[in-house]
Amino acid sequence: MLPDLTQYLENIRSDARLGYSDDTGVMSELEAHIEDKLQELTEAGLTEEEAVRTCLSQMGNTRSIARQIYEAYSQGTWKQAILASMPHFLFGLLFALNWWQYPGWLSIVLVLIIATTAYGWYHGKPAWVFSWLGYSMLPVVVVGLMLLYLPRGWSLLALPIYFPLALWWLIHVIIMTTKRDWLFSSLMLLPVPIVIGWFLAISPSGKFTEDSLERIYYFAPWIGLSFMALALTISVFIRLRQRWLRVGLLAASGLATLSLIVYYATGRLNSLAFLGPVMVEWGVLLFPLLLERRFRNSRIRSLRRGNTHGTSIIPTA
């Protein structure tokens, strides 16, 4: 395959961000269409390179084609929207009904989340699985918090081992998710600034005390409301077709939820406590985007090197 044609198809595949179930069929159909077009052009007397240039010119801009493909295949069904919003709804329910204080209910929810995440991850990684994936990280966070309460000697021994392993695992998950679509990585991390915001509201000192438990009881309805708002956000996200609307929805939802947290925790919105979660939110949105661009540039360089001695896509008689 000629380098220009390879690059053209790779740009479309990268920008279209198709799911695993759609990618092969859509790209095969597109390649078949290009092959037919090239066959017509060469039979009309054009050379191979002239046929490729003419074909790509007639096909149009790769981003325009990728956007049309994305909007045609990105919209999820109502079933997928409900599945994607379910983990947020479950956590909202735990706090709205004050079930968070019962280890049995917490264990049931965590087991359900981990099992559902594993099922979705090993069955094609559909769009709905990424919101579940974010909550599957909670056991790792809980373990880290528990290590803080160990005797000082054990804590100093365990934390230097735990944090590098936890950070490596988190980055590994983010990388795998970003390779599918950076928006799904942001979707997975969306609860993180919300959780941090409520944690700071409940335990400003960073440690749980008796006062912290009382504050959980006080804030429980609002904590439940914030997770319910996330559930609604995710269901709308899955149903949207336009990518720019999805980006705007995640940004607006995160900012609105953080505003609710800070307002009900401090009574005002000009608190410095607002700055930390907001910075985390922007990191959640921008870090996967920057990571994806780095992967894409690396892939493009690899393709350019690998196709120096490429073969022709034009069928021979």
pLDDT digits (tens, 9 = 90+) for 74-86: 888 999 999 999 9
Mean pLDDT of the chain: 81
pLDDT digits (tens, 9 = 90+) for 258-311: 877 777 766 665 566 567 677 777 888 888 888 888 887 777 677 666 655 444
Q: Identify the band that residue 181 occupies on the pLDDT scale cut at 50, 70 and 90.
A: confident
Comparing CA positions, the residue from 166, 200, 177 lying closest to residue 126 is: 177
Name 58's Cβ contacts closer than 8 Å, sequence gap at least 6: 37
Q: What are the tokens at 222?
A: 């609002």
Name 43's Cβ contacts closer than 8 Å, sequence gap at least 6: none
Domain count, the chain: 2
Considering Cα of 78, then 254, then 183, then 83, what sign does the dihedral take? negative
Say if residue 90 is in the same domain as residue 217: yes
Between CA 99 and CA 202 the distance in angstroms is 17
Between CA 111 and CA 122 the distance in angstroms is 17
Residue 313 covered by a domain: no
Alpha helices per DSSP H over 203-268: 210-239, 243-266
- 106-to-93, 140, 208 alpha-carbon distances in Å: 11, 15, 18
Percent of the chain with pLDDT over 90: 15
Say if residue 116 is in the same domain as residue 255: yes
Do 13 and 27 form a contact (C-beta atoms < 8 A)? yes
Say if residue 104 is in the same domain as residue 172: yes
Q: What is the arithmetic mean of pLDDT over 123-134? A: 88
pLDDT at 234: 93
pLDDT digits (tens, 9 = 90+) for 200-215: 788 776 667 778 888 8
Say if residue 56 is in the same domain as residue 126: no
Residue 208 covered by a domain: yes
Say if residue 15 is in the same domain as residue 118: no
Q: Quote the distance between the C-alpha of residue 181 and its chain's center.
A: 7
Say if residue 110 is in the same domain as residue 214: yes
pLDDT value at 235 more than 90: yes
Between CA 210 and CA 177 the distance in angstroms is 38
pLDDT digits (tens, 9 = 90+) for 187-201: 898 888 888 788 878
Residue 312 covered by a domain: no
Say if residue 106 is in the same domain as residue 147: yes
Say if residue 240 is in the same domain as residue 192: yes
Between CA 228 and CA 230 the distance in angstroms is 5
Comparing CA positions, the residue from 256, 245, 100, 117 lying closest to residue 193 is: 256
Say if residue 66 is in the same domain as residue 83: no
pLDDT at 84: 94
Q: Give the residue, 21 or 88, on which the prediction is more confident.
A: 88
Do 242 and 154 form a contact (C-beta atoms < 8 A)? no
Say if residue 123 is in the same domain as residue 261: yes
Say if residue 51 is in the same domain as residue 132: no
Residue 141 covered by a domain: yes
Say if residue 104 is in the same domain as residue 223: yes
